[in-house]
A and B are shown apart, each in its own frame.
Chain A
Amino acid sequence: MSRRPIATLTMSLLAAAPALAAPATEPGGTATLDYWSMLYVFMLSTFIGIGVIRRVSRLLHTPLMSLTNAISAIAVVGSIIVTGSEHPLPIRILGAIALFASMTNIVSGFLITDRMLKMFKGGDGGRR
């Protein structure tokens, strides 16, 4: 049933791929930032997000919110870099608090989404 959406999805992904795979400048280096490609990625992923999320069943809006919550806790990536690198102590403390906060969102977000989705049962009550 979902052949067509997947196809559109793949196409949009392919369109976004060159931007996603563009080489990163060395972190900490003074090289000019590749900010045009970042803006492209932002623009394209916003459209992909809107396209995908518009089709989410209204039944599932609460789990959708907790799932996107967990996904946006991808801030964990930034927190790990700040916490784990050789930085002054206060910086690492800020990073560790951020890492803790993101991790909390990841764990509680995914688990509660699954807990809620488990409860949605179709037709005659007991199936699945």
Chain B
Amino acid sequence: MIDALTQLSYVVATALFILALHWMNDPKTARHGVYGGMAAMLIAVLATWAQPQVIVHHVWIALAIAAGFLVGWPLSRVPLTAVPQRTALSHSFGGLAAGLVGTAEYFLWLGEAQANLTPFRMTAIVAEIILGFLTFTGSLMAAGKLQEIKWIPQRPVTFPLQNAVNIGLLLLAVTLGAALVLNPVASWSATVFLTIIGLALIFGVMLIIPIGGADMPTVISILNSYAGLSAVAMGFVLDNKLLITAGALDGSSGLILSVIMCKAMNRSFTNVLFGAFGKVVAAEAGTGPRVYKTETVEGVAQLLEQASLVVIIPGYGMAVAQAQHKVRELYDQLKKRGITVKFAIHPVAGRMPGHMNVLLAEADIPYTDLVEMDEINPDMPQCDVALVLGANDVVNPAARYDKSSPIYGMPIIDADKARTVIAVKRSKNPGFAGIDNELYYADKTWMLFGDAKAVVGELVKQLSGGGMH
């Protein structure tokens, strides 16, 4: 009886999870998605807790849940610029949970019920621990890079035979896993099991150190997928279909986002994971000094005032400078003058999918003015001023024709087709990927060097001063 009720609750929870994701297709219904997901989770937790075999250690469960609340609540209050690292951190928690449960189940059955270690279960357990533990360390590394922790190198770290070493590590882990599937209860099995965990932990770190900031949106999506798949594997181990379904939903979400990110960079999965950006680029840069034209804040303010369509192209620089609220003031100033202002959002702008949208939404900019790359590009020739705000590679025209450029073939926002381009840039160094951008040297481009927040603040001051009389 209680088992039937548990299963029924799981079916209801599954349906709610699917509906929750369905509601995310429109910003108007999206918040239902959160409530649907919460309800499903509550049902699932209560149904599991009520199971007869979970009778003994209620205090343990309650304490662990309480600790989860204590840590989870502050993690949900982080500033929105820190959302990519929070996301990476939660992927690592997800991987850790899966890895630990897999380990617990293996040693439990090894000690008490060896007949449970069927080849099918063992395959699932091995998949669970490899995926879980590599997601754990990989995501921790990604979070560390995003948080710019001092002892984690920001730039891609590469060394000779890196890919051979990485693939070798993974192959070794998989081979040991296969041996374990065939001999789950041999005298050496436990040692091999722990060795696999060690290899997966190392592989996670190795996978992330060659990856630079510009690839983070893709990598976070891939890790998202792995975290989901490790939950699926846990479902196979525990014979729990709710776990399989929810894990598969997460896995497919990560998969779709990775595909979108890869397309937006014109790169393949393997190229992102094994193709260390930045290394090739060092040779490309330094093609001799070229001349920028700089403009004063006053001059830019005048240009903006005379425009009728302004397209703002935000990038990671805007996030770093926390400039979104100042951008909102600029948006208000221009709107007051009857100027149309749109934001052109490149899929990989920022450090995770959708990063820019969230920051601009935080600054109260209506989402109807946030336009995707494919939709804004046809309008770019009519645009009077394209204001590039801390973006770089996503507006680099070299992507269209320069086959030697590492970003060749990547779809870009056609900023260069606007009548005038104003680029706000932190420093004169090339962008994060280390690639020089010819847009900055074009005749119609004016550079404005400085911190995005400070520069936009100055612009707003100019415009509000000039707008009074």
- Among the listed stretches B27-35, B275-283, B392-400, which one makes contact with chain A, having 4 or more residues with CB under 8 Å of it? B27-35
The proximity string for A residues 83-105 relative to B, scoring 1 for CB distances below 8 Å and 0 otherwise, is: 11111101110111111111111
Name A76's closest neighbour in chain B (CB-CB).
B45
Residue on B with the closest CB to A121? B366
Given A53-B253, A62-B353, A68-B253, residue A114 in contact with residue B31 (CB < 8 A): yes
Is B121 positioned at the interface, with any CB of A under 8 Å from its CB? yes
Are A102 and B68 within 8 A (Cβ)? yes
A9 within 8 A of B: yes
A80 and B61 contacting across the interface, CB-CB below 8 Å:
yes
Q: Which residues of B lie under 8 Å from residue A87 when comparing CB positions?
A: 104, 108
B248 with A42: CB separation less than 8 A: yes
Complex: A35 Cα to B367 Cα, angstroms: 45
Contacts of A97 in B (CB 8 A): 64, 96, 100
B387 at the interface (CB under 8 A from A): no
Kindly state the separation between the CA atoms of A116 and B243 in the bound complex, as whole angstroms. Answer: 26
Chain A residues near B284: list those with CB within 8 A.
Answer: none
Size of the B side of the interface (Cβ < 8 Å), in residues, is: 126
Q: Which of B71-79, B299-307, B403-411, B455-463 contacts A (4 or more CB under 8 A)?
A: B71-79
Q: Is the CB of A74 within 8 A of B239?
A: no
Q: Which residues of A contact B367 (CB under 8 A)?
A: 59, 120-122
Determine the main DSSP class of A at the interface with B. helix
| Inter-chain contact A33/B254, CB cutoff 8 Å | no
Given contacts A68-B254, A104-B68, contact A62 B34 (CB under 8 A): no
Residues of A2-56 whose CB lies within 8 A of B:
2, 5-6, 9, 13, 17, 19-25, 27-28, 30, 33-35, 37-38, 41-42, 45-50, 52-56
Whole-angstrom distance between the Cβ of B246 and the nearest chain A Cβ:
4
What's the least CB distance linking B438 to chain A, in Å?
Answer: 28
B residues within 8 A CB of A35?
120, 236
Minimum distance in angstroms from B221 CB to a CB of chain A = 8
Tell me whether A83 and B239 are in contact (CB under 8 A): no
Given the interface pairs A62-B354, A65-B87, A120-B27, the reply to whether A75 lies near B49 with Cβ below 8 Å is: no
**Residues of chain B with a CB closer than 8 A to A99's CB:** 61, 64-65, 68, 97
Cβ-defined contact, A57 with B57, below 8 A: no
**CB contact list, B133-179 vs A, under 8 A:** none
CB distance from B50 to the nearest CB of A (A): 10
**Cβ-defined contact, B33 with A67, below 8 A:** yes
Whether B94 pairs with A64 at a CB distance below 8 angstroms is no
Q: Is B24's CB under 8 angstroms from A105's CB?
A: no
**Which residue of A6, A65, A109 contacts B353 across the interface (Cβ within 8 Å)?**
A65
Cα distance A101–B38 in the bound complex, in angstroms: 17
A57→B60 contact, CB < 8 A? no
Q: Which of B11-19, B187-195, B420-428, B429-437 contacts A (4 or more CB under 8 A)?
A: B11-19
Q: Say whether, besides A57-B24, A97-B100, A121-B364, A110 and B38 are in contact (CB < 8 Å).
A: yes
Q: Would you give the 0/1 interface string for B1-24, flagging 1 where the beta carbon is closer than 8 Å to chain A?
A: 001000100110011011111101
Interchain CB contact under 8 A, A84 and B57: yes
Contacts of B366 in A (CB 8 A): 121-125
Say which residue of A23, A56, A72, A123 sits within 8 Å of B246 (CB atoms).
A72
Q: Which residues of B contact A105 (CB under 8 A)?
A: 72, 90, 93-94, 97
**Does B329 belong to the interface (CB within 8 Å)?**
no
Residues of B within 8 A of A65 (CB): 87, 220-221, 224, 253-254, 257, 352-354
Q: Which of A75, A104, A126 has the most CB of B within 10 A?
A: A75
Query: Would you call B234 and A78 a contact (CB within 8 A)?
Result: yes
Q: Which residue of A lies closest to B356 (CB)?
A: A62
Q: Are A98 and B97 interface neighbours, CB within 8 A?
A: yes
With the chains together, A13 CA to B13 CA distance in Å?
A: 12
Contact A82 B252 (CB under 8 A): no
Question: Is B115 at the interface (CB under 8 A from chain A)?
Answer: yes
CB distance from B6 to the nearest CB of A (A): 9
State in angstroms the CA–CA spacing of A86 and B228 once bound together: 28
Are A38 and B239 in contact, with the CB atoms below 8 A?
A: yes
Contact (Cβ within 8 A) A83 B25? no
Complex CA gap A98/B24 in Å reads 28
Contact yes or no, B372 A117, CB < 8 A = no
With A57-B26, A76-B45 as given contacts, are A109 and B251 in contact (CB-CB < 8 Å)?
Answer: no
CB distance from A65 to the nearest CB of B (A): 6
5 contacts between A and B (CB under 8 A): A33-B239, A62-B83, A65-B221, A86-B55, A110-B41
Known: A46-B252, A68-B21, A106-B41. 16 other contacts (CB 8 A): A13-B15, A20-B10, A28-B113, A37-B241, A59-B27, A61-B260, A72-B228, A78-B243, A81-B51, A99-B61, A101-B93, A108-B86, A110-B34, A112-B78, A116-B83, A120-B367
Which 3 interchain pairs have the tightest Cβ spacing? A103-B68, A107-B72, A61-B354
Residues of B that sit less than 8 Å from A by CB: 3, 7, 10-11, 14-15, 17-22, 24-28, 30-31, 33-34, 37-38, 40-41, 44-45, 48-49, 51, 53-58, 60-61, 63-65, 67-69, 71-73, 75-78, 80, 83, 86-87, 90-91, 93-94, 96-98, 100-101, 103-105, 107-108, 111, 113, 115-116, 118, 120-121, 220-221, 224, 227-228, 230-232, 234-257, 260, 345, 347, 352-355, 357-358, 361-362, 364-368, 370, 372
